[in-house]
Chains A and B, each alone.
Chain A
Amino acid sequence: MIEGMERIIREHRFFAGLDDETLAFIAGCTRNVRFDAGQHLFRAGDPANEFYLIRHGRVALELPVPGKDAITFQTAGEGDVVGVSWLVPPHRWLHDARAVDLVRAIGVDAKCLRRKCDDDHDVGYEMMQRFVPVLVDRLQATRLQILDVYGTSR
C-alpha cells in the first residue's frame, strides 16, 4: 500500500526530485482522497490536520463572509498543493477549500509530517524548500490581485 503511495506521490509535481528515502518516509503519512463537487476539503478555523496535493480537478480557496457567499480568491488545480497553515502554529486553516468539480488528491497527514520534520531536520528542510516558493508565489499573486490592474468595468 505504502509502495503504491510512493509511486503516486513521486509522480506529483510538488514532490518532483525527492530522493527515495525521503519519499518513503513521507509516503507513510499519505493517503488517497476524493471529494465530490461542492464538498469541502477543509473549512476556516478547523485544525490543519491534513493538506492536499491535487492530482485531478479544481479546488476553490475561499474566504467565508458572514451572510454572503464565500469569496473565491484563488483556485488550485492538478499539480498544486492546497493548505499551508499546517506548517505554522496554531495549525488552523485560515480559509475554506471547496471542490469545484470532482477532485482526486493525495492527503498528507500534517501531524505525522510535522513529527517527521521534527525528528529529521533534513526532511524538515526539504519540506521548507518546497513550501516557501508556494508561499512566495501566493504572496506575489496576492500583491498583483490587490493592485486590481484591470480597473473597473462599468
Chain B
Amino acid sequence: MAHLADPVAGVLPDPMLPAARRVLRTRRELADVWTVEIEPEADGHAFLPGQFNMLYAFGVGEAAISISGDPGEPNRLVHTIRSVGKVSEALARIRPGDLLGVRGPFGTGWPVAAADGADIVVVAGGLGLAPLRPALYRLFAERHRFGRVVLLCGARSPKDILFRREIERWRARLDIDAAVTVDHADHEWRGNVGVVTTLIGRAAFDPANTVAFVCGPEVMMRFAAVELETRGVRPEAIHLSMERNMKCAIGHCGHCQFGGDFVCKDGPVATFAQLRRRLALREI
C-alpha cells in the first residue's frame, strides 16, 4: 500500500484504490468490539499514531478505522473495530484468511514527537483508547523523553473496559500513572465510578507544561478538554481526535467537512484551540 505523502501529486499509486490484504488474526475484545490484524505491505505499513485506514469489506462498503497497533511494528497492521453499522459489522465478522480492502494511512496523528520534555496526559473514553494505543506504545518506547505520563480511561461499565489486560500491565509500570473509571458499576467492582473527567482533577501533572491527547465520544472530549483547560493546560496543547463520516479520505468528497476543514485530511487530530468554537455548534 502506498504511503500517501502527496496523493494529489499523482506520482503515487491511486489513493482511492484499495489493496486486497489478507486477515491474519482476529480477537474479540468486548461483546461488540474486535481487533483485526491484517497482512501489511511487503515493506510494512508505516503510520503515525492516531492515523486511520479505510477498510473495505468487499460487497458491503468502506469505513474509516483507526490503527490501534504499535507504530514501532509496521509489519503488524492492527485495527480495533466496534460493530455499530452495516460496514463495521461486516468488518468485525471477518475471519482469518478472509480478504479486506485497505487504503491509507490517512490523516494527522498525535504529536508525540513535539511533546518532548512535557508531561503527557492521555484521556480515553470507551473505544477512544484504540486510536490512542499507538501513541501510548510510542510514549512507552521513548519514555525517557517525557515528564510524567498519565493515562485516564473511562468506560461505560467494568465489562466495557477495552484492552483491560493491557491497562493492568501499564498500571503495573512504575513510570506511568494510570487510572480507570466506569460510569456504572455493581457491588463487585472495587475501582472508580464516575465519568472520566472526574479523574482529571485528581491526576498529578504540571498543567503549564502538559500536552494532552483526548479521544472518545465527542461530548466526552468536549467536557474533558474544558476540565483540562480549567486545570491550566493550554488549549493549543490539548489534542482531540474527531470522528466524522469519511468517504474518500483525501479531502475531495466533502463528506467529513467540519466547518472549514475536512476531518480526513486536516484531522482527525486537531487542537482544542482549533476546534473549540465548532464543538459548540449544533449544526455541524
**Residues of A near any B CB (own CB < 8 A):** 58, 60-61, 69-75, 77-80, 100-101, 137, 140-141, 144-145, 147-154
Q: List 17 A-B contacts (CB under 8 A).
A: A60-B193, A69-B187, A72-B186, A73-B193, A74-B193, A77-B202, A101-B190, A145-B183, A145-B184, A148-B156, A150-B126, A150-B127, A150-B160, A151-B126, A151-B217, A152-B156, A153-B156
Cβ-defined contact, B187 with A58, below 8 A: no
In the complex, A145 Cα to B194 Cα: how many Å? 7
Look across to chain B and name the residue whose beta carbon is closest to the beta carbon of A60.
B193
Indicate whether A144 sits within 8 Å of B156 (C-beta atoms), given known contacts A70-B187, A101-B190: no
Inter-chain contact B197/A144, CB cutoff 8 Å: yes
B191 neighbours in A (Cβ, 8 Å): 75
Whether B192 and A149, one on each chain, are in contact in the complex, defined by CB atoms closer than 8 angstroms, is no
Q: Which residue of B lies closest to A142 (CB)?
A: B195
CB distance from B38 to the nearest CB of A (A): 24
Chain B, residues 183-224, CB within 8 Å of chain A (1/0): the string is 111110111111101100110000000000000110110010
Chain A residues lying within 8 Å of B193, measured Cβ to Cβ, are: 60-61, 72-75
Asked if residues B32 and A153 are in contact (CB atoms below 8 Å), the reply is: yes
Give chain B's interface residue range (CB within 8 Å of chain A): 35 or more
Is B185 a contact of A144 with CB atoms below 8 Å? no
- Distance (whole angstroms) from the CB of B138 to the closest CB of chain A: 25
Q: How close is A144's CB to chain B, nearest CB, in angstroms?
A: 4
Inside 8 A of A144's CB, which chain B residues have their CB? 195, 197, 219-220, 223
Are A149 and B159 also in contact (CB < 8 A) when A69-B186, A137-B201, A141-B195 are? no
B30 CB within 8 Å of chain A: yes
User: Which of A58, A60, A141, A147 meets B198, CB within 8 Å?
Assistant: A141
Q: In the complex the two chains form, what is the Cα distance from A74 to B194 in whole Å? A: 5
Known: A69-B187, A77-B202. A153 touches B194 (CB 8 A): no
Is B125's beta carbon under 8 Å from chain A?
Answer: yes
Q: Please, how many angstroms separate the alpha-carbon atoms of A78 and B179 in the complex?
A: 13
Question: Is B151 interfacial (CB-CB < 8 Å)?
Answer: no
Please tell me if B31 contacts chain A, counting CB pairs below 8 Å.
yes
**B122, chain A: closest CB distance, angstroms:** 17
B225 within 8 A of A: no
Question: Which chain A residue lies CB-closest to B181?
Answer: A75
Asked if B125 and A150 make an inter-chain contact with CB atoms under 8 angstroms apart, the answer reads yes
- For B194, what are the chain A residues with a Cβ–Cβ distance below 8 Å? 73-75, 141, 145
Give A152 to B32 CA distance when docked, in angstroms.
Answer: 9
Query: How far does the Cβ of A17 sit from chain B's closest Cβ, in whole Å?
Result: 16
- The answer to whether B184 and A149 have CB atoms under 8 Å apart is no
B residues in contact with A149, CB < 8 Å? 125-126, 216-217, 219-220
Given pairs A144-B197, A148-B156, A151-B126, 14 additional interface contacts (CB within 8 A): A58-B190, A60-B193, A72-B187, A72-B193, A77-B202, A78-B202, A141-B194, A145-B184, A147-B219, A148-B183, A149-B126, A150-B126, A150-B154, A154-B32
Q: CB-CB < 8 A to B183: which residues of A? A: 145, 148, 150
